[in-house]
Amino acid sequence: MPEIFMIEPSSIRILYIDDDPFVCDLFKGSVEAHGHIVDVAYNGEDGRAMHATDPYDLLAIDYELPDLNGLEIARRLLLEDQFLPIIMVTGKGSEQIAAEALKLGLSDYIIKDNPQGFADLLPSVIDRALDRTALVKENIAVRTALREGRDH
């Protein structure tokens, strides 16, 4: 029987990387109200170091940071773990940024143009990204098990 990769909601650890303390508080409050654990980093390098020390289940990264572009952080992290769910967050809607984020393999893209709308969307966007990642990992496990069964 293949291993199931679903994560219990109370154990989901999320890292949000954004240099705006107000938005960080908004993110943290909205997501923690849905039972997830949220840590915050105010720049890309701190976020990468925090994830390297104790990996998170999901990352949400602001596009514009003081030290690194959010897409560059995501690119580096996905080189280390191609299945890491990452959500790009930006204050400016841009089809170019959205297309690049999805092309890189990010799970989703969300615009923080309206604080309340942004906060209301977060839990469903996060749950969808986590579910999609769990299904991909489960699919790989099933395919591996089937392949190994044929080889024996």
Per-residue pLDDT tens digits for 11-65: 899 999 999 999 999 999 999 999 999 999 999 999 999 999 999 999 999 999 9
Predicted local confidence at residue 128, as pLDDT:
93
- Which structure tokens are listed for 49? 């170091």
Q: How far is CA 37 from CA 2, 69, 80, 101, in A?
A: 27, 25, 23, 24
Q: Find out whether 87 and 102 touch, Cβ atoms under 8 Å.
A: no
Q: Locate the DSSP E strands across 18-142.
A: 37-41, 58-62, 86-90, 108-111
- State what percent of residues in the chain have pLDDT above 70: 92
In this prediction the pTM is 0.85
> Per-residue confidence at 152, pLDDT binned at 50, 70, 90?
low
